Amino acid sequence: MSHAMKTSVRILSLTGATLDAFLSDLVAANPYLRRRRRAYGSLPEYPIAERNQSMHQSVLERLSLERFDLPERKIVMALLEGLEPTGWMTEPLERIAKRTGASITSVQTTLKRVQDIAPAGMFARSLSECLRLQLERNGELTWDLSALLGNLSLVAEGRLEELAEKCDCSLDDLTTLLGQLRRLDPKPGLQFDVTPLPPAQCDLIVRRDGTGWRVESNEEETPSLSIEAGPDADATLLAEARSVVDAMALRRETSVRVASVLVELQSDFVADATAPRKPVRQADVANRLSLHASTVSRAVRDRTLDVPRGRLPLKSLFCPGAPGDGHDGLSQDAVLIQMRKLVASESRHRPLTDGEIARALVDSRVTIARRTVAKYRHMLGIAAAPRRAEPANGGTLSCPLG
């Protein structure tokens, strides 16, 4: 593979601050390359709303009162991009460090500052951390509550006596402690309106175009390169500069082509988050565009879409098919929706077991193993049948945090 080809492949696979850093190195090494830098100088602004603030608006208004240097602002924006509607962080800090070019220590330090400034419980990476942040903010975190948060899995498993021993308290005291946790908000982001980050934070913009969709590159997010060279320019360096500019143009074209196909194939899901995705693999897109699957993989890596209903990772438009044969193009999403409906209509006192769900799905011409039902149930956040059962006599439930 030639040097120009390696550079092109590298540029296609990079995004955000990592792409910025790579292009900065190329510009520094080539006197004929010029670029327009991305504006990391300040945090984006939202119009002030009298009520019904969005989650990102509320967080940004608080953060704007703090002083962050340039590297910290990059980390703050990366943390905001990874914030889920629940208020939780799901992106690994190691990936954020790689995207921003910062050390993992800097990311951890900035995250702690952001957690202290944001609404209590926001930017948590787990349920225990979310509840801990709220207790710390309220000045209510005691030793026994800390021990309880460190062993929340025992609550889900119903091992309350063992948990009481670890918390060095009686079962009655444990019930009181659990009552304190129940008063907290496990998903603090849901108290806000779901409004996405400004479009400038997305790589691609998707808008309605008649009866279809139009996908465009977000030029405000993509670094722009140009060439400035006189008649006496070094031929080798000039050729390298042109290859870099061409690589950026190819990156933009490939990203738009791949995204356009994915948006077309998942049109219903792009318009409506409740619609099931269709089964689409990277190989399907590659075959349609006559590209290698690895090229498609690089073109979707860490890319985001600004769609009318919000912000989506481009990768989220891929969806595996249902396991097994003979499902006629049924996607995993469609099976998950059917499972959710089955559980929603089950008896509250005798919920369906995984085996019964598997047999019920057969009536919908979906044949999957019981272990696959258990896997999907876990993906949906649905507890096992014994934990879903409600006592007929109105007694207490087995999982106080359910």
3-state DSSP assignment of residue 182: helix
pLDDT number for residue 329: 66
Find the mean pLDDT for residues 245-267: 93
Residue carrying the six token digits 């009298």: 50
Residue of 108, 103, 142, 102 whose CA lies nearest to 125: 108
Helices (H) and strands (E) in the chain, counts: 19, 6
**374: its two tokens:** 């258990």
Per domain, the residue ranges of the chain are 3-12+202-317, 45-197, 320-402
Residue of 146, 151, 124 whose CA lies nearest to 135: 146
**62: its two tokens:** 């608080």
Read off the pLDDT band of 13 (50, 70, 90).
confident
Residue carrying the six token digits 């959710």: 340
Strand order in the sheet with 204-209: 212-217, 204-209, 304-307, 310-313
Read off the pLDDT band of 215 (50, 70, 90).
very high
- Tell me: pLDDT of 191 over 80: no
Span 334-375, pLDDT tens digits = 888 888 888 888 888 888 998 888 888 887 778 888 888 888
What is residue 331's DSSP assignment?
Answer: B
Q: Tell me the C-alpha distance between 233 and 237, whole Å.
A: 8
- pTM (two decimals): 0.55
pLDDT number for residue 41: 43
Contact 204, 252 (CB under 8 A): no
Q: Tell me the C-alpha distance between 126 and 401, whole Å.
A: 14
Span 282-337, pLDDT tens digits = 999 999 999 999 999 999 888 888 888 777 888 889 888 777 644 456 778 888 88
Span 171-182, pLDDT tens digits = 889 888 988 888
Question: Phi/psi at 130 (nearest 5 deg)?
Answer: -60, -50
**Residue 312 CB coordination number (10 Å):** 23
pLDDT number for residue 287: 93
Q: What residue type is assigned to position 8 of the chain? A: S
Tell me whether residue 41 is exposed, middle or buried, using C-beta atoms within 10 angstroms of its C-beta: 0 to 12, 13 to 18, 19 or more. Answer: exposed
Q: What is the mean pLDDT of the chain?
A: 82
Q: How far is CA 344 from the centre of its chain?
A: 26
Q: Tell me the C-alpha distance between 161 and 114, whole Å.
A: 37
Q: By 3-state DSSP, what share of the chain in percent is helix, strand and coil, each rounded to 5?
A: 50, 10, 40
pLDDT number for residue 40: 44
> Strand 33-36 and strand 224-227: pairing?
antiparallel
**Residue 328 CB coordination number (10 Å):** 7
Q: Which CATH architecture has domain 320-402?
A: Orthogonal Bundle (1.10)
